[in-house]
Amino acid sequence: MFENLLNVKTMKDRHPLDTLVIRLKKIGIEVKIAGNYPWVYLYSINGKRVTEKHNANHGFNIAWLHPEFQWDVTKEMFNLIRKYTK
């Protein structure tokens, strides 16, 4: 009965990017994230390629991985997600 509980990661054990993707998927928004160290880009939203650029030359930067994980722009990121899901 409790065998599956050992394989389940709790939200606190997950990386913040995994948590973001999982939570958005629960409300019907599928996002793909790409990375080029130290930048983390929002690559596509619901299958639509993100064309905007923010804090980077190659895409919409949502986080940094150097020296440790740090969100870049949360308000702008969610505004962009709203724009692409309409």
Q: How far apart are CA 25 and CA 73, in angstroms?
A: 20
pLDDT at 58: 86
Write the single-letter amino acid at 34: A
pLDDT at 32: 96
Kindly state the average pLDDT of the residues 45-69. Answer: 91
With 90 as the cut, is the pLDDT of residue 27 above it? yes
Kindly state the average pLDDT of the residues 28-52. Answer: 94
64-67 CB contacts, 8 Å cutoff, 24+ apart: 64/38, 64/39, 64/40, 65/35, 65/37, 65/38, 65/39, 65/40, 66/37, 66/38
Q: What is the pLDDT of the chain when averaged over all its residues?
A: 86
Write the single-letter amino acid at 85: T
Which residues make Cβ contacts (< 8 Å) with residue 17, sequence separation at least 6? 33, 40, 63, 69
With 70 as the cut, is the pLDDT of residue 57 above it? yes
pLDDT at 86: 86
- At 1, the pLDDT band (50, 70, 90 cuts) reads very low
